[in-house]
């Protein structure tokens, strides 16, 4: 259950007040602002918390919660604002009617109600479920803690509380201002300013999915019932941590995934000659020191036997290879032994000068890539998680940001309108032409900075289109299924 307000027209917002009408402000953000650190702080007994948890879990299981966010960090106003920011939607809040008795008994002001940090939550439910939810709280002897406080305003960019109207963009700018100033000092200030400016550009910064294929169509299905399972080497080095997700994705697509550590190849416990596909995984090789991917590649290039083994694998016409994140950095440095990898980029420190962990929009252009061919023309979100993902061609003697005309771009960062972008944070690393992935001339070797293995199931995604939630497998499963189809 996520906190973003959902665009459900006939829905309501409920406050679950675990403070039972109290508004203790001791230690709150508001009391700190006013330099008043006295008074009682919020508290709750464990039995009450357990009952609340059980009710919420029942509503989750029954799929009656559209959105959920806790109140205790900043109070009701901060909770509502954050839900509106995340859903990019206005709210119409009325505290008068439902809070009439609390105002009378406890002498609560709007300030008390909006800014106390008593425990509790705001939930969004469909109006048709309102009586059911109210009855559920009554069954647990909690009827006095549930308040109907308003509803979403689809198409609006304001938060209305009674007669007071706040522009969502202004609120979010104020909410983000302190972080923005810290970011300017810590990171590349131009990137910090770019991200701050994007707050008011809802269209260009939105997430969406536009697939060129049918999500329901599992193109690997014809191969899953047979006994033949192509062997894929899930390659890792010390510190790499993306191998389990990678193995799970390829296993789901009908591969026999084998965990292969570099020490297995060095000691001859494993040999790439036994595999039809290789996936170099993401994570933090060698403790994620700068240039760790290049160090991983040199383990191969400076060992004659390993160099020959990898070169022979890449030269075989019946193999496929994928490099993701740290594995992408590593394989980009193996370009000299990969046929058709002339003009490949190397991946340098992000323009922001920081590690970037985001859900970013990418498009799949038409390219020779065999594993992305089934997705060509699609645009969809994907996880990025890297500190060195900026495609750089300086080693080729080219001017800064010039891309070789011979390069086969397999993946590009885009904005919410589907256009290739250089703007941070939509392009999280500053790669020219939005480069997020590249491939070889014959398309058998593809490398990318984003992590498709971390979002191949809809349950893995922090955001996906509502219609995807009816399916186990998301858009990125098509990459792994396509690999299985290619190998036959």
For the annotated catalytic residues, the residue numbers are: 325, 451, 453
Question: Cβ(281)–Cβ(323) under 8 Å?
Answer: no
| Strands in 71-222 per DSSP E | 90-93, 120-126, 146-153, 158-161, 164-167
b/e map of 251-284 (b: 16 or more CB within 10 Å)?
ebbbbebeebbbebbeeeebebeebbbbbbbbbb
Question: Cβ(213)–Cβ(478) under 8 Å?
Answer: yes
- Of 433, 476, 226, 450, the closest CA to residue 329 belongs to 450
* CA dist., res. 260 & res. 235, Å (int): 5
Q: How far is CA 84 from CA 7, 14, 80, in A?
A: 11, 14, 6
* CA dist., res. 42 & res. 26, Å (int): 7
Our CA dihedral for 304, 305, 307, 308, rounded to 10 degrees, sits at 110
Please, which residues have CB within 8 angstroms of residue 425's CB and are 6 or more apart in sequence? 191, 194, 195, 198, 352, 356, 358, 360
Q: Which two tokens stand for residue 296?
A: 């991983």
Q: Is the dihedral of CA 19, 24, 26, 32 positive or negative?
A: positive
Identify how many contiguous H helices and E strands the chain contains and give both numbers: 15, 18
Q: Tell me the three-class secondary structure of 244-311, residue by residue.
A: HHHHHHHHHCCCEEEEEEHHHHHCCCCCHHHCCEEEECCECHHHHCCCHHHHHHHHHHCCHHHHHHHH
Query: How buried is residue 375: exposed, middle or buried, by Cβ count under 10 Å (0-12/13-18/19+)?
Result: buried
Q: For 375, list phi and psi in degrees, rounded to 5.
A: -105, 0
């Amino acid at each position: 259950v996520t906190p973003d307000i959902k665009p459900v027209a006939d829905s309501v917002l409920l406050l679950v007040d675990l403070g039972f009408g109290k508004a203790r402000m001791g230690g709150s953000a508001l009391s700190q602002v006013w330099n008043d650190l006295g008074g009682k702080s919020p508290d709750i007994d464990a039995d009450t918390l357990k009952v609340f948890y059980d009710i919420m879990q029942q509503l989750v299981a029954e799929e009656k919660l559209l959105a959920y966010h806790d109140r205790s960090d900043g109070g009701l106003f901060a909770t509502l604002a954050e839900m509106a920011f995340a859903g990019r939607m206005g709210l119409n809040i009325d505290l008068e009617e439902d809070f009439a008795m609390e105002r009378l008994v406890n002498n609560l002001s709007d300030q008390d109600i909006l800014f106390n940090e008593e425990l509790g939550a705001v939930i969004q439910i469909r109006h048709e479920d309102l009586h059911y939810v109210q009855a559920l709280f009554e069954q647990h002897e909690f009827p006095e803690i549930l308040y109907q406080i308003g509803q979403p305003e689809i198409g609006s960019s304001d938060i209305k509380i009674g007669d007071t109207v706040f522009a969502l963009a202004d609120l979010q700018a104020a909410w983000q201002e302190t972080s923005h100033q810290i970011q300017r000092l810590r990171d590349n200030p131009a990137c910090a300013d770019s991200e701050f400016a994007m707050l008011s550009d809802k269209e260009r910064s939105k997430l969406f999915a536009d697939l060129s294929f049918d999500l329901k169509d599992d193109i690997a299905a014809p191969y899953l019932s047979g006994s033949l399972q192509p062997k894929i080497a899930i390659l890792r080095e010390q510190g790499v941590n993306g191998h389990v997700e990678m193995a799970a994705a390829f296993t789901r697509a009908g591969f026999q995934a084998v965990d292969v550590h570099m020490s297995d190849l060095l000691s001859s416990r494993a040999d790439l000659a036994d595999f039809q596909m290789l996936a170099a995984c993401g994570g933090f090789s060698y403790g994620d020191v700068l240039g760790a991917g290049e160090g991983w590649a040199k383990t191969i290039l400076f060992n004659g036997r390993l160099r020959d083994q990898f070169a022979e694998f890449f030269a075989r016409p019946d193999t496929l290879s994928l490099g993701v994140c740290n594995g992408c950095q590593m394989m980009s440095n193996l370009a000299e032994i990969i046929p058709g990898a002339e003009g490949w980029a190397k991946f340098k420190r992000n323009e922001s000068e920081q590690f970037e962990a985001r859900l970013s929009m990418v498009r799949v252009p038409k390219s020779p890539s065999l594993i992305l061919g089934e997705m060509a023309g699609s645009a969809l979100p994907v996880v990025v998680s890297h500190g060195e993902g900026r495609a750089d061609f300086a080693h080729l003697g080219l001017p800064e940001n010039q891309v070789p005309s011979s390069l086969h771009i397999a993946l590009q960062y885009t904005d919410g309108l589907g256009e290739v972008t250089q703007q941070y944070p939509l392009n999280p690393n500053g790669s020219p032409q939005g480069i997020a992935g590249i491939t070889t001339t014959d398309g058998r070797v593809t490398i990318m900075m984003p992590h498709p293995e971390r979002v191949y199931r809809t349950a893995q995604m922090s955001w996906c289109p509502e219609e995807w939630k009816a399916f186990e497998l998301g858009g990125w499963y098509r990459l792994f299924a396509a690999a299985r189809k290619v190998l036959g």
